[in-house]
Chain A
């Protein structure tokens, strides 16, 4: 059952509404413009551990939303709730709702497999399958079925081009993906996610295992991808959040403390804790 979010967007020129200073605040993070995904009073529990506390947040369409915060603040947990990756974790429980368009993805009738095709994910560590580059990228199509060989080749090329990897690997599509460098592997994982043409791309610290040059390439890639895709990226790198995103959310111990346009959050944060974090006083 979809909870109807009681968010009135019109009339609020205030970019983000700041909640009261209490930890379990009822803070609703709104945005201007088209909303692609929206969480309403989202809670995630691992057993008795309350990892995400009542987070309501809107993710703008075809923009980059960065989620930052210190380690263990729940930003990755939040991201994984957006395509129901918690279904895999024993003992994890999710309440509240996540809307993709108008659909509640936690509704009982929701098809998780279809959802994950619409909401792709790139993980912290590059995790290519131990197979050829071609098979990695075409994996999503093959599990869907119904594509012939030429369609598959075309999609693989397109996806690899979108991931800025085509020129580097076009001559060795049949070699193992594990032979690629870390940065290439991560771009391969992005290409793999793009191949099923998702609407939203979730990235869970995609650069944390990469060197600065590979990181730069991924960031440039994100810049291009946002023309077509809605992107939500978790990062513990403040500069990265500042560079790539249009909106930034700050998480602390499972609470969404502040959510605002990136420029605003980095130039005049409204909450003391956000300011402490971005000025390096903790985290």
Chain B
């Protein structure tokens, strides 16, 4: 019995029976309560007018539920039908589904390495760019940068992949062989993938950071400068801390994009699921770069040969469920950060009441979070 069945055959009937039973048998108090809860105090005519809107909301929620339950239900087949243990899946180092071995550890390590590399490279550049655009450059620079960033974000990932093969892979290969010279390294691996991903997530982080900085009240800047702070001190000591939650939200969304990216990474990472991205040794140069793989890339590679009902097929679903969980976690994290830090007491209101939903940062992030929430699962397939 999978999750979907549990839901449709146990949870839904239970709820219907409980609520219905209370309504019919619970007497006037319960009837009143349930009716009050269901109608929310609206009149019948108002309720009828709301039906199309409510339907849309229900459809969206149902769609999400179906996605989660379907992926989840299939994902657990690996553990229930194929009898792979949870521990073996997450700690196993060999990914050879045709041979019954589905150890996803190196895939997870690959995804983490690529993502961390991309974020670590991209964040300082993005924040510096955002600071330059909002605080240093003349106003027209921002009007110029916004469409440029959108263009950047709109380049299809396959184009990034091709560019990466043509430009970044040879560069990495050349740099490695020049600096280390231990053996000829073709350049495919996490470094190349991380570099290209860093460029891909740059517009996301930058534009959200720009929004966060621009949403700060002008009074904050003036206050700092009027106290004799230099522009740089104002940026470092006041503006960046005050907008940190917005910037951090941008970083999380960029992370989400990096985790879910498939095509560009598939071009660059080397697609070997049984290698650690970096192997440490006891002899010079003490590490080897090798072609590796990531969760998304492995789904992409293996799906071509998977037949439904095989371990191969189920393991792919388990991988995608792991991705789904990661993306949900990231969206949740970004929402949490946005609600918490985002310039809470708006200075427009001297009484300092807290309603973060009114700040530009929070709303822009919420919108961005919604976009990623829909984009992440889509990019897995």
Contact = CB atoms under 8 A, between A and B. Distances in A.
Given A139-B237, A142-B237, A178-B345, A125 B228 contact: no
A110 to B, nearest CB: 13
Given A113-B229, A116-B228, A121-B226, A129 B350 contact: no
A82 to B, nearest CB: 11
Contacts of B350: 125-126, 182, 185-186, 209-210
Interface in A131-182: 131, 139-140, 142-144, 178-182
Interface stretch (A10-18, A34-42, A189-197, A256-264): A189-197
B222 interface: yes
A127 interface: yes
Given A127-B220, A143-B237, A182 B351 contact: yes
Contacts of B219: 123, 125, 127
Contacts of B139: 90
Contact of A125 (B138, B229, B347): B347
Contact of A130 (B138, B228, B230, B242): B242
B27 to A, nearest CB: 47
B143 to A, nearest CB: 13
A123 B220 contact: no
B233 interface: yes
A88 interface: yes
Contacts of A117: 227-228
Contact of B224 (A83, A120, A139): A139
Nearest to B139: A90
Nearest to B346: A178
Interface string B234-257: 000110011000000000000000
A281 interface: no
Contacts of A268: none
Most A C-beta atoms less than 10 A away, residue of B221, B222, B348: B222
Nearest to B236: A143
A123 B343 CA distance: 19
A129 B238 contact: yes
Contacts of A185: 350, 352
A108 B220 CA distance: 26
A113 B230 CA distance: 6
Interface residues of B, number: 28
A109 interface: no
Most B C-beta atoms less than 10 A away, residue of A127, A128, A139, A178: A127
Interface string B130-163: 0000000011000000000000000000000000
Given A131-B241, A143-B237, A126 B347 contact: yes
Most B C-beta atoms less than 10 A away, residue of A117, A121, A139: A139
A120 B227 contact: yes
B371 interface: no
A2 interface: no
B13 interface: no
Interface in B314-366: 343-345, 347-348, 350-352
Contacts of B226: 83, 85, 116, 120-121, 123, 193
Given A125-B350, A127-B217, A179-B352, A88 B344 contact: no
A127 B222 contact: yes
A116 B222 CA distance: 11
B352 A178 contact: yes
Nearest to B237: A143
Interface string B91-133: 0000000000000000000000000000000000000000000
B182 interface: no
Nearest to B140: A90
Nearest to A178: B345
B66 interface: no
B225 interface: yes
Interface string B243-282: 0000000000000000000000000000000000000000
Contacts of A128: 223
A120 B139 CA distance: 27
B222 A130 contact: no
A209 B217 CA distance: 16
Nearest to A121: B226
A192 B344 contact: no
Contacts of A178: 344-345, 352
Given A116-B225, A140-B227, A143-B230, 17 more contacts: A85-B225, A85-B226, A116-B226, A120-B227, A126-B347, A126-B350, A127-B222, A129-B224, A129-B242, A139-B237, A139-B238, A140-B228, A143-B228, A143-B229, A143-B237, A178-B344, A189-B223
Interface of B: 138-139, 217, 219-230, 233, 237-238, 241-242, 343-345, 347-348, 350-352
Interface of A: 83, 85, 88, 90, 113-114, 116-117, 120-121, 123, 125-131, 139-140, 142-144, 178-182, 185-186, 189, 192-193, 196, 209-210
